[in-house]
Chain A
Amino acid sequence: MLQSLLFALLLVAAFGLFAWQVRKIRANVLVGRARAAGGHPAERLRKTLLVAFGQQKMFKRLTPALLHLVVYVGFLVINIEVIEIVIDGLFGNLFGFHRSLQFLGPLYDGLMATNEVLAALVIVAVAAFWWRRNSHPPLKRFTGPELRMWPKLDANIILYIEVVLMVALFFMNTADLKLHQMRGEDLPGTFPISNLLVGLLPTSQGTLHVLERIGWWAHITGILLFLNYLPSSKHFHIILAFPNVWYSRLVPQGQFSNVESITHEVKAMMDPAYEVPAAPVGPDGVALAPAPFGAKDVDDLPWTNLLSAYSCTECGRCTSVCPANLTGKLLSPRKIIMDTRDRMEEKYNSPLIFRPNVYGEEAGHAPITDLANATLLRGKVTPEELWACTTCNACVESCPVNINPLESIIEMRRFLVLEESAAPNSLNVMFSNIENNGAPWAFSPSDRFNWADDLYVKGPTPETAPV
């Protein structure tokens, strides 16, 4: 009775706290600019099934893909058992039953056996993940100025929690199994790994019962704690990867967004009769101030980019293929995504844990000295990073959950150029060349057709001669 009550309270508290945190994050994401990201449900569903559920883009690199697959499938399957734990926890003690899903019969055997095998594999995969991050030197993509301090610790905490959860699962099963064996009873389910472990446990039935309870409580408490850790962690990707892929762009990667307010201005310039649509009106009936061109802060980015910031698990595939980063420039697409998340929480709501990145010489990154402008641009992302981008889309292509760092980079470049006229001088020269000569170089427009002078071809005259 007491256990059931305790369990019910724990459940309510855990889900309540989680909902409270999710509301904060939802509010953060919704400060972003409106963007129509719906439509084409069939295409979006297909993409979500392939990229998010099917992990399609993970398989560009086989080793981490397989390791990740184990943990992913483990997460999905082992959580079926959580349903049982919740039912047992709420009602089992009251009505004196245990392992409520055993009515599934052979299916239950299979489920328990799969769980155990997966749990063991998860421990192996997590050990490999830990090694890739913490060996000397670690994998290159697990380094960089943005991956020190909290993000580094966060990554390890996730791995430790996963091991604890799996160990608790084995504790629970092994103790339960041994208890039943000693009583001469049959425990429903098949437990291939726990069968190997029963010898390690003491033979006192009382102790075994306590161990089983400890394992049971540790497993479910751990899961609920982990749930509430997610919003503060990069591990939130296990939930947000799905909506993020769903809402990711469907157009070719080379197609950059069109700034509609500029289209109106340009049309008005070219045609005096063109009527620019009236500015949107706020709830108080007063016309809203026009939004700035491009992005200076998180509010200026499309909400999808903010959702992406929470979907990022900081794996660094983007940065590891970025030509600028590979050749030693400051730009790291991952940093821009992580900075966006930090900035949202700094400016608006933060979940339970908020430890924003700090940069400086010791981080191998120029210190942010412009404290007067604490905005995303300059406060976290420096113009030097933005100007190093070749817009090659390697980062976009590489992201397993379809995050588009390039879009944020371009939005911030737009702000630099259109609001601050702060482009590098050589680019300003290029702009004026286009304005004056219709070409990015300083050639005379009257020479544009000179290439066709004295042009000869060998061979017979074609039957269908050109005009």
Chain B
Amino acid sequence: MLPETAPAPRQITVPVMADLAARNESPEILFWVGCAGAFDDRYKRVTRAFVRILDHVGTKYAVLGLEESCTGDPAKRAGNEFLFQMQAMQNITTLNGYGIKKIVTACPHCFNTIKNEYPALGGEYEVIHHSTYLQQLINEGKVGVTGGESFKGRRITFHDSCYLGRANNIYEAPRDVLAALDADLVEMKRSRANGLCCGAGGAQMWKEAEPGKKEINIERTEEALATLSGKAEALANLGGVETETAAPGPHDLQGSIIAVSCPFCMTMMSDGVKNKEQESKVQVFDLAELVASAEGINA
């Protein structure tokens, strides 16, 4: 319940780069939304949560809006270098046209591509993943992660995104953000540099998996659930298809969370939790959603 004096929720008009440029203004950061953030119903909620945070802390930001286009990541990982470079050059032309210096994005794939692969094609920017950005906001005290939902004592496990972790060595920022929530952070056996992929990278998101014994996201979800229920240590083999999670561990799964920082991990882990019929107990959230909830700014 909000106190009576609390102001009514404000509507946010998301600033678009073209409008800023028309007024001869430039933003502090450009928020690169990404295709999943713009079109995927589940990840749109992450985009909106992140924009609430940007608005809340008073960052001078802008988005490209309709001028944004796929970074070309899925094309490049699938081997379509030609399409990738077409997309990259088009985006670089847009970004350079606006004189963009600093980009923040909630997608590790966009992050990796713009940060590492655009410079060779003429696009040099300071690129930050939103986990790092959120960590900075918390460290600077701009976000107190108080006033909203309390995560104190809730069991959270963080699933490392390959394109944030191994690809770019960002392991601590998302964990620092989660630590600020005062939750009960539990690590999967395969975490950080040894993290197991959700199964969606390398353009797998858009195709059926090759014939095998199991889906990768099921393997990973089983590990996450076993970790959350405290049963991970008891598992004989976390290294392959024999993994099972039938017997419950000592912890009730109710209210526990799988935290992700990537739209594809979000899809894969959510599907995995549904497949294991645990969606009434275990939720999959992005870091930005958790921070916005804890800050009490969701409307």
Contact = CB atoms under 8 A, between A and B. Distances in A.
Given A431-B75, A434-B74, A466-B54, A426 B206 contact: yes
Size class of B's contact patch? Answer: 35 or more
A254 B71 CA distance: 14
A459 B193 contact: no
A423 interface: yes
B115 to A, nearest CB: 8
Nearest to B41: A451
A414 B213 contact: no
Interface string B108-126: 0000100011001100000
A153 B227 CA distance: 40
Interface string B57-98: 111111101101110101111111111011101000100000
A392 B197 contact: yes
B81 A327 contact: no
Contacts of B295: 459
A83 interface: no
B204 A390 contact: yes
- Quick one: which of B23, B210, B295 has the most chain A CB within 10 A? B210
B169 A410 contact: no
Interface string A316-356: 00001101101111110000000000000000000000000
Contacts of B77: 256, 391, 410
Contact of B214 (A293, A328, A441): A328
A281 interface: no
A410 B55 CA distance: 40
A253 B112 CA distance: 10
A413 B194 CA distance: 25
Interface string B204-234: 1111111111111001100000000000000
Contacts of B220: 323
Nearest to A265: B82
Nearest to A435: B83
B197 A258 contact: no
Given A390-B204, A392-B202, A464 B58 contact: yes
Given A140-B240, A427-B203, A435-B83, A393 B10 contact: no
Contact of B201 (A392, A424, A431): A392
B213 A459 contact: no
Interface in A393-447: 393-394, 396-397, 410, 412-418, 423-424, 426-427, 429-431, 434-435, 438-441, 443, 445-447
A60 interface: yes
13 contacts: A256-B117, A259-B85, A262-B82, A293-B81, A323-B219, A326-B216, A391-B202, A431-B78, A441-B40, A452-B12, A452-B63, A467-B15, A467-B60
Given A413-B78, A416-B79, 16 more contacts: A255-B117, A256-B117, A265-B82, A323-B216, A326-B196, A410-B77, A427-B207, A430-B78, A438-B69, A449-B38, A451-B48, A455-B52, A456-B11, A457-B297, A464-B60, A466-B55
